[in-house]
Each structure stands twice: as C-alpha cells, then as structure tokens.
Structure 1
C-alpha cells in the first residue's frame, strides 16, 4: 500500500535547467517564493517580491517561469514528488495494516508540514484562478485511486461491505488534506492552536483504519 504503484501514476519531475548555476538560481527563486507566500499569501505575492527575496532580477525570473502560477505549480509538483518518493519506502509485507497506514499518514503529515506555505498557496490560487481547481484535483487523483483500489481488495475479504470505494477514498483523502491545512496552515481550531505530530498522526491513522477494517457479524476471511 505504497504511495504509488506504477509509473503511470507516479511522480513526474519537472525539467531542470541544464547547468548547476541554472539549477541553483531556480532553487533560489522557489525558496524565495516559499518565504514570500508564507509572509503575505499567494494572492499578494508579486514576482518582484520573490526576486528581491532571492537576490535576483525580475528578468532572471522569466528565464525559468512564465509567471507566478507556473512557479507555484512547480513547487507543488515538488511536494507531490517528495510525498511519493517517501511513500514508496513504506514497507508492507506481513506488517499489521494499522502500522502501514500510520507510516503513510506520517509521510503525508511531515511532507505537508515542510511544504505548508506552498500548499496554502494552492488553496488561495484556486479562489482566483479556476485552472488551479483542476490542477489540484488531477494532482490528488492518483492517491485517491490507490486508496479506492485498496478498499476493493479489503471488500474481497469481507471488510467494510457496502461502502463505495471511490467515495470513501475521496472522504479519507479530504480528511487528510483539510486536517493538515487546518493545523499546519490555519493555526488550528478555536480554543486550540496546536497539535503534536504524534497526536495528529495517531488521530488520522485511527480514523482511517477504523473506517475500513471492520466486518459485519458472521463475515469471514482474512486480509
């Protein structure tokens, strides 16, 4: 139950500049954009703010990105690639299902936390640019497909009968996405502004596990 199952839905790394200097400049612009978005938000982030933060000229920016929207997509692609790469290290084998789920949740929570300013930018961008709605939906789709396929395998062994795999996968994915957004971007809930990594990961893992690993009375079979 790794984050990716084949190359058709795995990460696609954006083309990198051919020189070390070019790669360093592109990296500097992306790191600067992360700082600016974290400080003022995506909508108010200007190209000149990003280049100033990076110590580069505005002209240099356009050697690497057509606009700040393309820059944001490149940064989110980096989040996706890192999440898949880390997810593929999760061992399954004969391990207990809960432990596998917990490892996957740990990957997502920790990777989201590292990229939180960037992911907040996607939510903001979707409010002003409808293209980002489709972009985020497409980016999320492979993980939802993997969860849905896992649910189908569980149902073949009499677990979670009657649940629609695709809708359930969407619900689990939305829980992960928005829970991370609330606590890692928005600053928590009213009356509580923080949660420990252990609390967050344990809560998400238990909800995911308990939603699927159950049988009706008299059902038989094992995973």
Structure 2
C-alpha cells in the first residue's frame, strides 16, 4: 500500500469504498479489463483518491493476494491440532482453502488472470501454489511412512491436488457462476474426498 495513506476515519472509509468497488468491478469485467477509472467511478471517488492508497491496480492486487495467503494459512492451522483423524484434517484444510477463496474471490481471480500475462504475478502465483504444494507433499511423505500410497511421487501428488483445489474453486465460484448458488458443504466434501482418496489408500 502507498505509505502516504493516512489512517484517519475518513481515510479508512475511502479505502474501504475503493476496495469494495474494485471487487465489484472485477466480478463484472474481470481484472484485466478493469481500470483505475472504473474503480474510482464505482466508488464515487476521484482517481486521485485511489492513488492516495495504491500506486496502481497491480499494487492493490498484490496487497490483496498477500492477505489471502495469510488468511488461508491461519485458517488451515485448525486442521493440525492434536487428535484429528486424517480425514478430519483434510476436510478442515480443504474448507480453509475454499472459504478463503470464496471470501477473497476478486483477489484470486485477479491474480490468476494477471499471472497469465505478467511475469511478476506469474512468479507470485507460483510461490503461492508452491507453499501449499510443499505442505501437501509433506503429508504424502508422512502417509507413506504409515504404509499409504506406496510408490507415489509426493511432489507431483501435491502439485496435482493443489491444481485441483485452485481450478475447482475457480470453476465453481468465478467462471461465469453466481457464487451465491454454490453449496459450500458439497464443494468442500467433493474436494476433500478426492484429496483423501489420492493419499490414504493401500495395495
């Protein structure tokens, strides 16, 4: 964020209006077609107001994406509390990813779209995915020590699961779908079942 932004009550209201407007514009037009002028018009503010807080729409998206990473990580911690079964951990982990994606939908759509045409965001998207791939890969290795999924490549399995999570979230929530019509429990159950069965099986 632009360090020149002032933490006044009015300033916070303006910032909230700008961010809310940007989310609405992204939902209608997509990130790539969105302009700063679109955001300002939607918010009922001047473009100068936007630049008081962000240097560009890319800076806004970068700030949002980092918030997504922090929130998803914090939510997932519940899955690793002592006493959980393997299935419970995966269910909670999946729900953490799904709900954060849902609540940060504009951010994730923006990062996903911009990563296709911008090297900086392509690297950020890869970094975002790699962090989760590393975590899933480690669960595969631990499962293999218990006799599950023998011979499976942990890294490739982790990559496949993360790709499934991200693409499913995008298809169900952003790909021309009204997210309000989507059943959260059914979506989480579907992804968690695929994830669980990909790891916890034995010959």
Task: Write out per-residue CA displacement over residues 119-167 of structure 1, whole angstroms, 9 at most, x where no aligned residue.
Answer: 1222221233232211111122211111111111111222111111111
- The count of residues paired between Structure 1 and Structure 2 equals 198
Q: Relative contact order (C-alpha < 8 Å, sep 6+): which is higher?
A: 1
The whole-number CA distance in structure 2 between the counterparts of 1:107 and 1:48 is 34
The answer to whether residue 151 in structure 2 is matched with residue 175 in structure 1 is no
With over 3 angstroms needed to count, the CA separation of the structure-2 counterparts of 1:116 and 1:73, relative to structure 1, is same
- Partners of 2:145 and 2:165 in 1: how far apart? 25
Measured in 2, the distance between the counterparts of 1:95 and 1:89 equals 10
Q: Is the 8 A contact 1:51 1:61 kept in 2?
A: yes
Q: How do 1:140-151 and structure 2 match up within 5 A?
A: 140-151=129-140
Q: Evaluate the alpha carbon distance shift between residue 139 and residue 15 of structure 1 in structure 2; reply closer, same or farther with a 3 A threshold.
A: farther
The equivalent of 2:191 in structure 1 is: 204
Once the two structures are superposed, what CA deviation does each residue of 1:191-221 show, in whole Å capped at 9, x if it has no partner?
xxx65222211111111111111223xxxxx
Q: Which has the higher helix share?
A: 2
What residue is the counterpart of 1:7 in the other structure? none
1:88 is paired with a residue whose SS is: helix
| 2:78 aligned counterpart, secondary structure | coil
Equivalent of residue 71 in structure 1, options 57, 60, 63: 60
Q: Which moved more, 1:54-63 or 1:169-178?
A: 54-63
User: Which of residues 27, 30, 33 in structure 2 aligns to 1:44?
Assistant: 33
**Unmatched tracts of structure 1, length 5 or more:** 1-13, 189-193, 217-223
Which deviates further from its counterpart, 100-109 or 110-119?
110-119
- Which structure 2 segments of 5+ residues have no match? none
- Matched with 1:116 is 105
Partner Cα distance (1:45, 1:130) in 2: 19
